[in-house]
Amino acid sequence: MAVGIFDSGLGGLTVLDAVSKRLPEVPFVYFGDNMHAPYGVRDADDVFNLTTRATERLWEEGCDLVILACNTASAAALRRMQESWLPQGKRALGVFVPLIEALTERQWGDNSPPREVNVKHVALFATPATVASRAFQRELAFRAIGVDVEAQSCGGLVDAIEEGDMILAEALVRSHTDALLRKMPHPDAAILGCTHYPLMEREFQAALGAHVKVFSQANLVAESLADYLERHPVMIGEGSASKFLTTGDPLRVSGHATNFLRRPVSFEAAF
C-alpha cells in the first residue's frame, strides 16, 4: 500500500514529513535524484527523462501513485507524463494543485469560469526552470482573473539548502526577496514554489513583512493527498515498506537528510 514521493534532491522531504504525519498508516517510498540535482537549471526534456526514470523505479517498489514533490518536475514534466506517458493503472500528481486551490479557494474539480479572488498581487519564488515554464500562471489563469503574478527566479538557493549552508541560504533569500519587491512593492501573498523553500519560510516571511501571507506547500499537499486517497483508495499500491532511495552517495545523502529533518534518515542506492 505504498505511495511514492519523488524529488530532485532533499526538498521533497518537507512534503514527506507532512504526509507521513497526516497519513501514518501509509508507507512512503522516497526517491531523491541527488546525483542530478538541482533540476531548476535543466531543460524540459532533461527533466522529463529524469522524472520518468525515477517514477519507473518507484513503480518497482509497488507505488502505483507517485507524488512529484518537485515544482520543477511538476511544471516541466507532469502534463506530458499524464497526457502521453503514464500507463493505465498508474498515476502521477504534482504539487501545484493544492497551492492553486488554497490561493483561489476553489476545488480542482470546479470547472466554472475563472472569477475574481481576494488575492490580487502574488509573489512567486521558484527555480529558474519553474519560472520559465509559466506553469503556475497558466493553471492560475484557468481559475482566477485579475491576479498579477510576479515571479522571481531564485538561483543558487536550492544548492545552498542541499549543502546545508544556511548562512548563504539566508543571504540569498534576502537578495531574491529584495529583487522581487523592487518589481512588486506590495504583494498580498507569496508562493514558495519549491519544496526546498519551506525550510526558509521564516526568512522569507521576515523579508516580505508580516502583512504578506506566505503559502508553503507541505501541509497543503498532505491534506490534498489524504483527500485523494479517500476518493481513490485503489491507487494505494502493493508496496508495504517505507524506504529512502537516492541516486547519490547514500551515506552523504543520509547525513544531509538527517540534518534536514532533524531525525535519523538512512538512504540506500536507487540503482
Note the CATH number of domain 3-96+218-269: 3.40.50.1860
Which positions ≥6 away from 263 have C-beta within 8 Å?
none
Distance CA 193, CA 78 (A): 15
Note the CATH number of domain 106-215: 3.40.50.1860
Q: 16 φ, ψ to 5°? A: -55, -45
- Sorted by where each begins, the domain ranges of the chain are 3-96+218-269, 106-215
What is the pTM for the complete model shown? Answer: 0.89
Burial of 73 by CB count in 10 Å (0-12 exposed, 13-18 middle, 19+ buried)? buried
Q: Which of 50, 65, 70, 76 is catalytic?
A: 70
CA distances from 258 to 30, 244, 263 (A): 14, 12, 5
Beginning with the edge strand found earlier in the chain, give each strand of the sheet holding 28-32 in spatial order.
91-93, 65-68, 3-7, 28-32, 243-246, 268-269
SS3 126: strand
Active-site residue flag, 194: yes
Helix (H) or strand (E) holding 204: helix 201-208
Q: Which of 15, 99, 169, 194 is catalytic?
A: 194
pLDDT at 108: 63
Active-site residue flag, 70: yes
Q: What is the pLDDT of residues 22-61, one digit of tens each?
A: 999 999 999 999 999 989 889 999 999 999 999 999 999 9
Distance CA 189, CA 187 (A): 6
Domain pair 3-96+218-269 / 106-215, same fold: yes
Q: What is the pLDDT of residues 51-107, one digit of tens each?
A: 999 999 999 999 999 999 999 999 999 999 999 999 999 999 999 888 888 888 887
Helix (H) or strand (E) holding 144: strand 144-145
Rounded to a whole number, what is the largest CA-CA distance in the chain?
Answer: 51
Q: Mean pLDDT of all residues in the chain?
A: 93
Q: Which ranges of 23-134 would DSSP assign to H, the alpha helix? A: 44-60, 71-76, 78-84, 96-104, 128-133
